[in-house]
Structure 1
Amino acid sequence: MAEGFRYHQGRPSDDEVVAGIQSGVVAFDANVLLNFYEADPKTRRKRVELLGMLGDSLFIPFQVKEEFHRRRKESARSVSKEYAALRTAVAELKKVGAAFGRVNKATSKSRDPVSVSKARNVITECIHDLLGQIENLEREDPHIVDLAEDPVLAGLVSVFEGHVAEIPSARKIAKRVREFVEIRVPLGIPPGFRDVTKGDEAQAAGDYLIWSELIGCAKSRQVDLVFVTDDLKSDWWVEGSRENPTAAHPSLIAEFGRETAGRRYFQVTANEFFARAVRALGDPPVDRTSIDMSNTDPYEGEFEDGPTSPGLIASVLDDSLYMEISRSEPPF
């Protein structure tokens, strides 16, 4: 009787997370992978190596792949945009310098032209020097990523081969989107109900599409799962601040356990994961044979009507509403 009233809450211990990394499946959110673009090359390489050490326990939901590629170029240009913002600010300073000492026609007051000229020259030299320093900083900044080569994408492709989920059928995606819009959002069921205003219905349901794939993977493999995400909204976390979330939302833990016959769900931020991954993984495994998922769908038949409301979805969106993804596309 007491077990039925128990509320799932509290953060797992370090030992529990380490055990989950060692024996379960580890999946990553798109935001974690996109943040690699803002990491310095040394940190980036180390993190990619750790991902590779996960071996067969690594899992990338198809929806994560889609979101990563949709936002990849924007993330790669984020640091360059900061330098562009600096140059824009300097351009405004040029206008201020050009206006220095301008004659006030309304009062006919004037300034000594020699002193005004000197001041303007000093301002111009400072601006020129500042622009030069900004240019040098940008040229030498190790965080700048050349999209023509894109070392982030190259590194991820090298370790994700064979670990990216097959695209779910359009019918299955449509059922999940409809359940998200018609059932989960009105009832405030996590995850993703905070994203209801984000883009179209399919885009708003992105978190729930990922969640469905996570449950499907754990259910198919009969393992615990560690999900690494830097999405700190309250439809993923509870009890802590945005900067230091305390625990996964209890509803997520309960639903995961219910749909996977009691398997455990661990949720950590990227910094938490990489801090524990060194302890959990140790030296790279000798055998890193990948599971070939290119011709199989391990989630076929899993909770056809959605994980929380079987039978409630009476209709699906037409397949034509969804992008047709070529089966011959790169694995990530």
Structure 2
Amino acid sequence: MNRRNAYFTIAALAASFVWAYSATLRDLVISWEREPDYSHGFLVIPFALGFLWLRRADLKQVEIQPSAWALSLIIVSLLVRWVGHRYAFDSLDGYSMILWLAGATWLIAGRQFLLWALPAIGFLIFMVPLPFQVERLLSVPLQRVATEVSCFVLQCLGQPAFAEGTTILLGNQELHVERACSGLRIFLGTIALAFAYLIASRRELWEQTILLFSVIPIALVANALRIVVTGLLYRFVGNDEAIQRFCHDSAGWFMILVAATLFAITQIFLTCLIRRVEVMRMDDLLSRSRAEA
């Protein structure tokens, strides 16, 4: 593909993307603004661009070879979008947009360039809200676990706490662990941060696996800590509107920072637990020995 045809193809794809997905992008922004569980969506695109910048050194080894096979991926993205509209799965519209971007990248620059950009493109998944069915499937068990864990911690702190369903009876107070307090925001935010770190750090596969699975207990602990703090505030300060606003809004963001700190501690622990082995050739070792002598 010569330069003129390449520019024409890029312009045509950009125009078709704006025409096809401008409404999708608008709906995503509305979701980020109105749904606290997905407010991290504003950070996803800047992070994805940052990953491309961090991987810029590898771009020198990438050979640009446009491929017509990419049209198959673009067709798949259109089918996914059709299924989403046909069966009212709004989230599939956002996922089809990501598939379309991958297909367009493959079409313009080739398979090697797509593999280079794939971590950034894949990270865009975190800007799309989960399907309602999946969200509900996650929220209900998260509510129950958060209730039981936070009630246990409150009891360990000497508080008269008892759990009934998703309600904590704390003295004369009733602390309702609603869906907004299920920890889905912390869970999704922590997973996004974990993926961002793993993409940027390029650790060994076994380390990536451990760190990725550590997200689940970290998110549960962070959310339970939020509910415990809420219960203590209700117990010793009172149940006024300011405390409720803090516990539902500000505390959610603060607990994401707590989860990020716990994740960093886990990463440091793994680094200290396993020491890197320095591999040297025999002639390098002999030359170093002579230099020290």
Structure with the larger helix share: 2
Length-normalised TM-score, structure 1: 0.21
- Indicate the structure whose relative CO is greater, using CA pairs within 8 Å and at least 6 residues apart: 1
